[in-house]
Structure 1
Amino acid sequence: MIDELRATRKRLDDQARDARVARDDLDLAQRKADNDVEAVKTRRRRDQERMDSGAVSNPKDLARMQQELASLERRISVLEDEEIEVMEQLEAAQSAVADLEAQLADVDAKLAVAEEERSAEVAKIDEELAGVEAERGPAAEGMPADLMTLYDRLREQKGGIGAAELRARQCGGCRLTLDPAEIARIRSLPSDEVVRCEECSRILVRTSESGL
């Protein structure tokens, strides 16, 4: 579950990063559009003030300025349309970023809970292992050194399980059911002879429930 949550978080984080870049680009585009509109409006206002002040009296100049004012009005209309389009795109980009960040926060919360639960489980296992290790010392007293060496080597190789109970003719390590010939062979061996599983090589512990 933790691996899945981490994979989900990475995917969302990548998407959020791309969404922030798109949002920031649109923010710059909006500011540029605002500045462009304001610049044209400033020019139109200046020209209008010159005409209203009577500073321009030549009919040709007045006609030319009126044409320029009309052109500026059209330019402002185009720029304002572009400005509105960019604003709408920016609003959508901001919404996308907010949504992805909310998803990230949710995944982070779930990940924190999962990691906390795992830590608690690991601590529990460590405590149990410490208890088993404490019990192992007295239990191993008197065992032949070569047998303990073999057991430790197998435990390291087999994921912590060097010996397994033989129950109902089945190895408790690999779950292999021994064939009748192997059962007969084990039955004929002395009780103190070390028996190993043919499949996984673990030491087989014989009991009254082994089915021998």
Structure 2
Amino acid sequence: MTITVLIADDEELVRAGFRVLVNSAPDLDVVGEARTGEEAVALARAEQPDVILMDVQMPVLNGIEATRNLLAGPTPAQVRVLILTTFDLDEYAFEGLRAGASGFLLKDTPPEELISAIRVLAAGESLLTPRVTRRLIEEYTAGPAATPQPRKLPGITARELEILRLVARGLSNAEIAEQLFLSIGTVKIHVSRLLAKLDARDRTQLVIAAYEAGLGSLT
């Protein structure tokens, strides 16, 4: 199946470079380009791409607000947002994750890594390394989204709880499978059930849910 991609960046040369790169992959297809966050929201709702490459600093509506506009509210768009940032672990990247983005990359990421990241997000996973997970939890606890009351996890099995703990540590499905001596397919099933039971869009939200339940380890 072809993965459809929307590119949102206010610089024409940047959009052109991403367009050529994305369209060079046989399973990826650029279905639109946006110069502002407002255009990104409108195009995303019209074209319903699988993944958006979202720049942070754009006119009219920045990438963070555009992400929040798309993914929050009563009718969130079914799209994965990849925040593109200039500086590693900057405040904008984490604000984007809190707005619902599924991950972020530096703009100077090697081409093959960007292509891989698009495929990862389209498959329903997120780009969260243990270091990023640690910073995400730290940023979350320092902001207004922090929850004072512990979150309950009704209906979560012992195995799902075990996997949720590892997701909260930033482990991938393959790493979880290796640690628990399970197949990757089995781990994917458990993660899918966790997403459904916790009403979470992706692994980023699972990390936050784990933290709210007191499971998010920073070590």
Q: Please report the TM-score for the alignment, with normalisation by the length of structure 1.
A: 0.20
Please state which structure has a larger fraction of its residues in helix. 1
Q: Please report the TM-score for the alignment, with normalisation by the length of structure 2.
A: 0.20
Larger radius of gyration: 1
Which has the higher relative contact order, 1 or 2, with Cα contacts under 8 A spaced 6 or more apart?
1
